[in-house]
Amino acid sequence: MRQLKDPGDKGLGRYSTTLVDPKLVDRTPHLYNKKFSIGHWERTKDPDLFYRCFKNSSEQFKKETKDIFFGHKFISSTGVEYGSVMGVHSNEKQYRNLLDIQEKYGVKASLTLNDMTRPLKLLGQQELTEFLNYIQRFYDDGIRSCTISHTHLMRMGVLQERFPDMHWKNTVNHVIRTTQEFYNYVALGYNTIQLDRDFNRNLPELKRCFKEAKKIGVETCLLIYESCMPECPFKTEHDIWQGDVLPKMGQSYWDTLSNTCVRWRSHPTLNRIEPSVANPRTGTDVVMHDKSDWEDFANNCDYFKLSGRLVNMKDEQHEVMGRGTEWNGRAYFVDSFKTVYDNNLAPFSPWLKGISVFKKDVDVISDPEQIKKDFEDHFWNQKQAITLQKVLKACKNQCYKCHKCDDLFSDRHVQSILEA
């Protein structure tokens, strides 16, 4: 490890960043192994269900999983709170199960503290001491990966000094959209930079960013599925209210404020085909058709994040994780993304909408040849749809002057999805 001292340091920010010597790190991207960061199901009532489903997954699925991120919440003796932007947290039993997964299967458990309120009082002497002791508990348990949103706390350098082997991630909610912003957050001491969803539609900038990341031994991560609209004007308020305000009222953002993302996600024309097919303007998810598209992204990013901590899974499921999708009223399930890639099961995007677990009463099709045959008439395998998918890799979400998505879905032209 090498420490870069802050030239403007006056004692507050002893270390501005901690970088790994790039010569010591193999940065050759793998196409699917250690490629996915997945969310723990924290709303699921059965505390062991996630563990059982992961344990029963294929060895290849486990190899593809880089880490499992889970939420938790710090509360100081003075009442200062700092936790998760989603407003949900793992309980003690779930946490112990994640430690067991880490020990048995080599898949890291990654602590997530991405509350965007980022309390100023956390920097006070008493609160900071208590917070460091709080992190120490996880560190002593073997946790070596942590997402933390509090940039002032990172700038101080106390976390890096106290926990030298912890791998620090920023949060995707920092909204890093350019290579310059990437460097700004590297300077705070983050080892992994979680990029904004906009990179899903800006492959040239993703390539530039990854090229710079390789020079300095910093990892990049890209959230490829969450269904947030491009440059959502409600994002900041959503993050603050969902993480801190609404849970205390026993409410969720989506139940309380139905005139924002709930409105366009359920819009009858924007989502006219079926759940796996919607106008791409309703979100900023990655859109990939085949192997070549996957390789474009996989070779220019260390790994991908899949949201999922709000999943409320029931116990009537097949208790095994994998990759799944639906088309024409039929369910499809394969044991790993390697199966999707090796068999070029286009379109790729529907396989990347999170971790799939189907209900016990659902008959699933898993034979690659049968899937290929059934997908011949898939909406995203039509000639015009394939052309659009290629455009979306670098469209930069300039919807107001493009309207290619609207034309394919026969929707009226609007400058903003908020007009829908």
Mind listing the pLDDT tens digit for each residue in 140-174? 999 999 999 999 999 999 999 999 999 999 999 99
Distances (CA, A) of 378 to 14, 100, 282, 346, 404: 56, 40, 20, 9, 19
Instruction: Please tell me the predicted confidence (pLDDT) of residue 220.
Output: 98
**Is the distance from CB of 226 to CB of 86 less than 8 angstroms?**
no
Q: Which amino acid is at 290?
A: D
Check pLDDT > 50 for residue 18.
no
Instruction: Please tell me the predicted confidence (pLDDT) of residue 312.
Output: 82
Pairing of the two strands 36-39 and 303-306 = parallel
Distances (CA, A) of 29 to 32, 36, 176, 298: 9, 12, 21, 7
Pairing of the two strands 330-334 and 364-365 = parallel
Of 323, 4, 330, 311, the C-alpha closest to 157 is 4
DSSP lists the bridge partners of residue 324 as 333
- The band of 358, judged by pLDDT with boundaries at 50, 70 and 90, is confident
Which tens digit of pLDDT belongs to each residue from 176-199? 999 999 999 999 999 999 999 999
Instruction: Give the CATH fold of the 2-232 domain.
Output: TIM Barrel (3.20.20)
Query: Who's near 129: CB < 8 A, 6+ residues apart?
Result: none
Higher per-residue confidence, 417 vs 286: 286
Mean pLDDT for all residues in the chain: 88
**Which DSSP state fits 411?**
P
Of 133, 27, 116, 18, the C-alpha closest to 75 is 133
Q: What is the mean pLDDT of residues 368-375?
A: 97
- Residue 227's Cβ-count burial label (10 Å; 0-12, 13-18, 19+) is middle
Higher per-residue confidence, 318 vs 201: 201
pTM for the model stands at 0.90
- The band of 21, judged by pLDDT with boundaries at 50, 70 and 90, is low
What percent of the chain has pLDDT above 70?
89
Instruction: Please tell me the predicted confidence (pLDDT) of residue 270.
Output: 61
- The band of 86, judged by pLDDT with boundaries at 50, 70 and 90, is confident
Give CA–CA dist 289/272, Å, rounded: 20
Check pLDDT > 90 for residue 361.
no
What residue segments make up the domains of the chain, in order of their start?
2-232, 309-414
Higher per-residue confidence, 18 vs 398: 398
- The band of 87, judged by pLDDT with boundaries at 50, 70 and 90, is confident
Instruction: Please tell me the predicted confidence (pLDDT) of residue 369.
Output: 98
Instruction: Please tell me the predicted confidence (pLDDT) of residue 376.
Output: 96
Exposed e or buried b per residue across 4-19, where buried means at least 16 C-beta atoms within 10 angstroms of its C-beta = eebeeeeeebbbbbbb
Q: What is the mean pLDDT of residues 349-354?
A: 90
